[in-house]
């Protein structure tokens, strides 16, 4: 199950109490105060882990509390500090304050750590308060409580390429053809109900990552169909592949579909609509009316967008498309414009 939103509650460990104690030993007159300090409570850390790709493990385990510090003891012995607790999250997770909605942390690299809740301070024992004028203090300090907060976690997948288009445009079939990902493929709308990632091997240790999200329909930015819930997963991508079904059996107008999806992208986020985009005509093996393909080609060229026609069923045009995608990603990564934009910081 793919879970990309969840709430968790984190609480640092309470600090241990100090203790009031006096040294009472044979042959040690007036031993004086000898109460030790309490230990500090443990902290809660969030850490990015690239081996995770969902927040499912936190949906059913939302409460995270660090170990409390031990109380001080006699003989001026300090209590042990509480152990820290580490909560692992997928790379691409954004952390928001559940009450204010403020973005607190955006995890973009494996191994990145963030202090989510600080543990309480340990209290002082009475030995700490001894002075030249107060040689036998009969009081100590209690430890403070650990920090507690509720966090909203949202996952945005990190990928180089995002696939967008209407349901049944051939997105899942394409990602299963060019990578080892095996999403469900069927001939009914909304076959894809959750995002999928696929790694495309270019050889010579070069790869790029493709994200396939559920299909969009008109009004998606208002919640129609599966709505815009999953569009966040292509916000960080460098390149969009806009897949359009041109088969004669689809019963749809390719140019109208192309224009509708671009409107939805603009309505969701103008920056996403302005992302570099390659238009891909799919299912050309089932094309009986060549004008459908040519109309879409002319429309894409009018928008100055690269255009490719493919058939995932017969692999026609797949090699050329993959080469074009790899080349475009390299160009985007090397350009100064990409260094200045906010793709990885989109929120």
Q: Is the same domain home to 46 and 148?
A: yes
Q: Is the same domain home to 4 and 73?
A: yes
Residues 6 or more apart whose CB falls under 8 angstroms from that of 206 comprise 326
Nearest CA to 85 among 144, 49, 42, 146? 42
Domain end position, chosen among 155, 186, 211: 155
347 in a domain, yes or no?
no
Q: Is the same domain home to 134 and 195?
A: no
Q: Is the same domain home to 81 and 1?
A: yes
Q: Is the same domain home to 185 and 289?
A: yes
What is the average per-residue pLDDT within 84-88?
Answer: 96
In 3-state terms, what secondary structure has residue 5? strand
Into how many domains does the chain fold?
2
Q: Is the same domain home to 300 and 192?
A: yes
Domain end position, chosen among 155, 186, 207: 155
What is the average per-residue pLDDT within 29-36?
Answer: 85
83 in a domain, yes or no?
yes
What range does the domain containing 305 cover? Answer: 161-340
pLDDT in tens, 313-334: 899 999 999 999 999 998 887 7
User: What is residue 187's predicted lDDT score, i.e. its pLDDT?
Assistant: 55
Burial 312-338 (b: 16+ CB within 10 A, else e): beeeebbeebbebbbebbeebeeeeee
pLDDT in tens, 158-183: 788 989 888 888 888 899 898 876 76
Q: Report helix angle 171-178 to 318-334, nearest 10.
A: 90
Q: Is the pLDDT of residue 200 over 70?
A: yes
The full DSSP string for 116-168 is EEPPPPPPPPGGGG--SS-SS-----PPPPPPEEEEEEEE----SEEEE-STT
The CA-CA-CA angle for residues 291, 293, 296, to 5°, reads 105
Sheet with 206-212: list strands edge to edge: 196-203, 206-212, 161-164, 239-245, 277-282, 307-309
Instruction: Give the CATH number, domain containing residue 185.
Output: 3.40.50.300
Q: Is the same domain home to 14 and 136?
A: yes
Q: Is the same domain home to 176 and 290?
A: yes
pLDDT in tens, 225-284: 455 666 777 788 889 999 999 998 878 899 999 999 898 888 888 888 888 999 999 999
Q: Is the same domain home to 222 and 283?
A: yes
Strand partners, 203: 206
Domain end position, chosen among 155, 171, 203: 155
User: What is residue 211's predicted lDDT score, i.e. its pLDDT?
Assistant: 84
| pTM of structure | 0.71
Q: Report helix angle 290-302 to 254-268, nearest 10.
A: 30
Q: Is the pLDDT of residue 336 over 50?
A: no
pLDDT in tens, 38-62: 999 999 999 999 888 788 889 889 9
Q: Is the same domain home to 227 and 334?
A: yes
Strand partners, 86: 45
Alpha-carbon Rg of the chain, whole angstroms?
29
Nearest CA to 320 among 285, 278, 286? 278
CA distance 40 to 139: 19
138 in a domain, yes or no?
yes
Per-residue confidence band for 157, with pLDDT thresholds at 50, 70 and 90? confident
Asked if residues 293 and 285 have their Cβ atoms less than 8 Å apart, the reply is: no
């Amino acid at each position: 199950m793919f879970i990309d939103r969840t709430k968790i509650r984190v609480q640092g460990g309470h600090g241990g109490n100090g203790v009031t104690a006096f040294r009472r030993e044979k042959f040690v007159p007036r031993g004086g105060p000898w109460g030790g300090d309490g230990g500090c409570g443990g902290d809660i850390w969030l850490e990015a882990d690239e081996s995770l790709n969902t927040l499912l493990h936190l949906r059913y385990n939302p409460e995270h509390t660090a170990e409390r510090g031990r109380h001080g003891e006699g003989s001026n012995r300090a209590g042990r500090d509480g152990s820290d607790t580490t909560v692992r999250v997928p790379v691409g997770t954004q952390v928001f304050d559940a009450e204010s909605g403020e973005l607190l942390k955006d995890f973009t690299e494996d191994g990145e750590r963030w202090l989510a809740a600080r543990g309480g301070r340990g209290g002082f024992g009475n030995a700490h308060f001894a002075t030249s004028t107060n040689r036998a203090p009969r009081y100590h300090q209690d430890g403070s409580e650990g920090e507690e907060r509720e966090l909203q976690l949202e996952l945005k997948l990190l990928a180089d390429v995002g696939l967008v288009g209407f349901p049944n445009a051939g997105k899942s079939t394409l990602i299963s053809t060019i990578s080892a990902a095996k999403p469900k493929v069927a001939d009914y709308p909304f076959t894809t109900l959750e995002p999928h990632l696929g790694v495309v091997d270019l050889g010579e240790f070069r790869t790029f990552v493709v994200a396939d999200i559920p299909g969009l329909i008109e009004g998606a930015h208002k919640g129609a169909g599966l709505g815009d819930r999953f569009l966040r997963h292509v916000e960080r991508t460098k390149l969009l592949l806009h897949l359009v079904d041109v088969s004669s059996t689809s019963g749809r107008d390719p140019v109208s579909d192309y224009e509708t999806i671009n409107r939805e992208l603009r309505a969701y986020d103008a920056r996403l609509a302005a992302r570099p985009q390659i238009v891909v005509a799919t299912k050309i093996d089932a094309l009986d009316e060549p004008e459908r393909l040519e109309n879409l080609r002319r429309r894409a060229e009018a928008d100055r967008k690269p255009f490719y026609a493919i058939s995932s069923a017969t692999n026609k045009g797949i090699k050329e498309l993959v080469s074009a995608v790899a080349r475009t990603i390299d160009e985007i990564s090397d350009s100064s414009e990409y260094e200045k934009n906010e793709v990885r910081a989109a929120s």
